[in-house]
């Protein structure tokens, strides 16, 4: 697949998946209110983290091998997913949250979807684009139908997302089987153990970043009321939307140029500048129009989230900054340094949340998250030139894990 086509598909997938997921979140919030929005956000965030952990880095390992996954790899992904599903079911039982139990099949479906996605990327099929878009698009469509019919609940919204992921896997299997055998890439067979070890190593380096993003929301699920959880979820959702819309296309374009001309340092400088510019623009807009935006999009019940929304929007700048610089770390073979920085940032964030939430509510939570992002950016930047960059980050390395 050409760089230009890859850029176009990556940018379109980023924008469409973001828009569809955001649209579903808005419908759930407006129709069901802050409490149910909080439950929905906690369940989906927990499911995303458990599914990612259960994946054990198979997606990254398959891309590194560059060979078509065998049936053994699919069974391995399904088996790891079963473990994740059991964990989710047990956590749901302990917390008395039936929605977590309803969502517990996600790690199995997600694991299979990631293998299919890697397969599509390796074989150069545009199907990887549809695999990313189908699930959130179907969920949004189903949610709209449920709203019109007057049957939208947290359970139906979650079930719609599960069905979307399952449909994506089934459709890709059907389409791939119609592909001529001589057009298929060589199959990776009999190396599942090696693949798992390789994926686990990369996984341990990437997990802290993912936890740093979703960990605060999951922690709030055990500390906060459902209403506060919903307010914080909305604040974080809108705050992250502005940088994604202003940053994803230039990010993919610059990553493509980096892969083409190996201008790693120049691309990194441009992305860092763009990160702070994006955060400044989004934060200023939130400061000036925050209440109006929340009232218009979500309803007056979510206006109390405005302070947290403003704080989190400005905090996107250091988050994006550290994402760019840590891509250089991975290109230099120093991914372990980035992982240690993220662990330190996560620990500080969670400790601050435990201290500040009882006093300041979601404003304290947003301030804690912002402090963690700033700490990550400062540490990442201060250690950046310990070892000079020698190679350009790939598009996958410059992507912001969410």
- How do residues 339-375 score in pLDDT, each as one tens digit? 899 899 999 999 999 999 999 999 999 999 999 999 9
Whether the Cβ atoms of residue 245 and residue 18 lie closer than 8 Å to each other = yes
Q: Which residues contact 246 (CB under 8 A, 6 or more apart)?
A: 278, 281, 282
Q: Which residues contact 79 (CB under 8 A, 6 or more apart)?
A: none
Q: What is the pTM of this model?
A: 0.84
- The ranges of the chain with pLDDT < 70 are 1-11, 65-68, 123-128, 178-195, 242-268, 331, 385-402
Q: Which residues contact 265 (CB under 8 A, 6 or more apart)?
A: 389
Three-state DSSP class for 125? coil
Residue 174 DSSP symbol: H
Q: How far apart are CA 165 and CA 81, in angstroms?
A: 14
pLDDT for 61:
75
Q: How far apart are CA 293 and CA 352, in angstroms?
A: 28
Output the DSSP codes for 54-76: HHTTHHHHHHHHTSEE-HHHHHH
pLDDT for 181:
53
CA angle 9, 15, 21 (to 5 degrees): 125
At 234, list the tokens. 């909305």
Q: Which residues pair with 68 in a beta bridge?
A: 187
Q: How far apart are CA 333 and CA 390, in angstroms?
A: 10
Kindly report the backbone phi and psi dihedral angles of residue 184, in degrees, each rounded to the nearest multiple of 5, phi listed first. -85, 150
CA angle 309, 236, 56 (to 5 degrees): 160
């Amino acid at each position: 697949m050409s760089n230009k086509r890859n850029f176009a598909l990556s940018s379109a997938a980023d924008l469409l998946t973001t828009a569809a997921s955001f649209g579903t979140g808005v419908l759930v919030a407006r129709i069901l209110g802050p409490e149910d929005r909080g439950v929905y956000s906690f369940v989906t965030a927990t499911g995303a983290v458990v599914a990612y952990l259960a994946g054990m880095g198979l997606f990254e390992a398959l891309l590194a091998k560059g060979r078509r996954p065998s049936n053994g790899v699919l069974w391995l992904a399904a088996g790891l997913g079963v473990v994740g599903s059991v964990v989710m079911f047990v956590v749901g039982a302990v917390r008395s949250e039936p929605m977590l139990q309803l969502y517990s099949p996600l790690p199995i479906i997600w694991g299979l979807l990631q293998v299919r996605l890697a397969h599509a990327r390796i074989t150069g099929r545009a199907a990887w684009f549809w695999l990313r878009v189908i699930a959130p698009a179907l969920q949004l469509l189903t949610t709209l139908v449920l709203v019109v019919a007057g049957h939208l609940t947290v359970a139906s919204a979650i079930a719609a997302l599960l069905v979307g992921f399952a449909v994506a896997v089934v459709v890709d299997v059907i389409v791939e089987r119609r592909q001529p055998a001589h057009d298929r890439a060589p199959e990776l067979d009999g190396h599942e153990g090696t693949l798992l070890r390789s994926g686990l190593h990369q996984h341990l380096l990437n997990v802290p970043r993912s936890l740093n993003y979703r960990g605060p929301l999951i922690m709030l699920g055990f500390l906060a009321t459902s209403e506060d959880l919903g307010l914080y979820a909305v604040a974080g959702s809108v705050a992250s939307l502005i940088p994604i819309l202003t940053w994803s296309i230039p990010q993919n374009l610059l990553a493509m140029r980096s892969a083409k001309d190996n201008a790693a340092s120049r691309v990194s400088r441009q992305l860092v500048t763009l990160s702070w510019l994006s955060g400044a623009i989004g934060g200023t807009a939130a400061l000036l129009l925050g209440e109006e935006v929340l009232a218009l999009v979500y309803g007056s019940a979510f206006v109390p989230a405005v302070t947290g929304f403003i704080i989190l929007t400005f905090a996107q700048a250091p988050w994006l900054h550290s994402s760019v610089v840590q891509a250089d770390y991975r290109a230099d073979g120093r991914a372990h340094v980035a992982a240690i920085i993220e662990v330190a940032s996560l620990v500080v964030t969670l400790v601050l949340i435990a201290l500040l939430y009882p006093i300041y509510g979601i404003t304290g939570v947003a301030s804690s998250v912002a402090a963690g992002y700033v700490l990550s950016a400062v540490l990442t930047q201060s250690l950046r030139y310990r070892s000079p960059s020698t190679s350009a980050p790939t598009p996958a390395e410059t992507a912001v894990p969410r």
